[in-house]
Amino acid sequence: MSEKLQAPRGTYDVLPQDADARAALEATARRVLEGAGYRRIETPTFEATEVFARGVGASTDIVQKEMYSFDDGGGRSLTLRPEGTAPICRAYAEHGMHKLPQPVKLWYLSSFFRAEKPQAGRYRQFWQVGAEALGSDDPAVDAEIVLLLATLLEELEVAGLRLRLSSLGTPAARAAYRENLAAHLRAHEDELSADVRARIDLNPLRAFDSDHPGTRAVMQTAPLLLDHLDAADAEHFATVRELLDGAGLPYEVDPTLVRGMDYYTRTVFEFTSDALGAQSGVAGGGRYDGLVEMLGGPPTPGCGFAAGVERMLLAAADTPAAPPPVDLFVSYDGARAAAFKLTAEARAARLNAHMELAGRSRKGQLKQADRLGARYVAMLDDDGGAVLKDMQGGAQHDVTAGEVVARILRDRTLR
């Protein structure tokens, strides 16, 4: 025997028993988001690497360490998408969506790829439900995005939720603040982890994310960006908060909230769940007012979220869905062609029908029909005749194979 092959590390198979919960999640996402005017978009699984290098940011972990990039054979670098926001902004610019009534509201349910260290809730191929609203900088868009995400998580019964909210201001305010923060880190350089020390100039904000005790102590006294916003950004944030307060959505303002992409401006947010282990982030997002322009489109504000499908399912109440009912099981000894024809006829009449496919004995076939919970069994003989058995009532009738479907449909209407 050859060596048994396995799915790559950090990936998993969606088996039939897991598929129903995912389908239910998709149906809920569709209802919540399409009800609010978001329409489905799907972009390609891979993009020019440039989309992420420019969009997500060259200094981010995602671009530096986590992308699956490859040559397209013609010297052009492509990358399996690590996230959905930059590709959607690329599509917005490419298809001239700025000519449509704004904001353009889009949603997606797609798989993404990051070369991260696999662990519970962290995969190398994972799925996200996301929504992006492009073309308006109204704080009501930010509040709508956060509230829709909260509704989605609530409807999916994701347990132990906590929402943190902050504002990152404009790139200019952020640049000035980064200088400030870098100076603070440099003043405490020997107390920091090697990792943070190496990134003081590249990405000092990541220091807020560190678990290292020395770094954490230094961050206690670090200046906070939220205290250094421009007047317009501070007002934008105050309005987002007012709208969420008005909607009765509880949240915490967390000035140390760090997101993994460079494209964010103004509002950022993250939902965590205490039903998850170390990978507690269920969903996150924010505003990205410069991203479309960075990808070659017209200046366009935008705001959105993405929620991890695996993490939502892990943190949600487990409600197994019933498989679809089986109306008819077709049993036979030698009359395979007649059984096949009857099964096809039944399906054409919208009955859920199965036929025997494993060469079982008659007894074994009845057992299989029972296991499937089939309502009727048609036992075909070799001469075009059949016994139709109602497995619930126990009634049995001699019929021809050609009469089976009509008989079931008639019984059904009489019931």
Contact residues toward ligand HAM (CB under 6 A) are: 83-85, 114, 116, 122-123, 126, 128, 130, 132, 260, 281-286, 304-308, 310-311
Residue 84 or 204: the one with the smaller Cβ distance to ligand HAM is 84
Cα angle at 294 between 291 and 299, to 5 degrees?
70
Q: Of 145 and 353, which CB lies nearer to ligand HAM in the complex structure?
A: 145
| CB 21, min distance to ligand HAM, A | 16
Of the two residues 143 and 346, which places its CB atom closer to ligand HAM in the complex?
143
Compute and round to an integer the Cα radius of gyration of the chain: 28
Which residues are within 8 A (CB) of 132 and not within 5 positions of it... i.e. 6 or more apart? 84, 85, 88, 89, 105, 106, 107, 302, 303, 304
User: Cβ of residue 131: shortest distance to ligand HAM, in angstroms?
Assistant: 8
> Is residue 33 classed as helix, strand or coil in its secondary structure?
helix
DSSP tag of 118 = P
90/122 with CB nearer ligand HAM: 122
Q: Do residues 381 and 396 lie in contact, with contact meaning Cβ atoms separated by under 8 Å?
A: no
Secondary-structure breakdown of the chain: helix, strand, coil percentages, each rounded to the nearest 5: 40, 20, 35
Output the smallest distance, CB 159 to ligand HAM, in A: 15
Name the minimum Å distance from CB 310 to ligand HAM.
Answer: 5
**CB nearer ligand HAM, residue 103 or residue 284:** 284
Q: How far is the CB of 283 from ligand HAM (least distance, A)?
A: 5
Tell me the closest approach of the beta carbon of residue 32 to ligand HAM, in angstroms.
Answer: 16
Residue nearest to ligand HAM (CB): 308
- The residue to which tokens 């009800």 are assigned: 35
- 60 exposure class (CB count in 10 Å sphere: 0-12, 13-18, 19+): buried
Cβ proximity to ligand HAM: between 314 and 404 the closer is: 314
Closest distance of CB 231 from ligand HAM, Å? 25
* Coil, strand or helix at 172: helix
222 with 207: CB under 8 angstroms? yes
C-beta separation of 28 from 142 below 8 A: no
Q: To 10 degrees, the CA torsion angle through 90, 95, 99, 105? A: -60
CB nearer ligand HAM, residue 135 or residue 284: 284
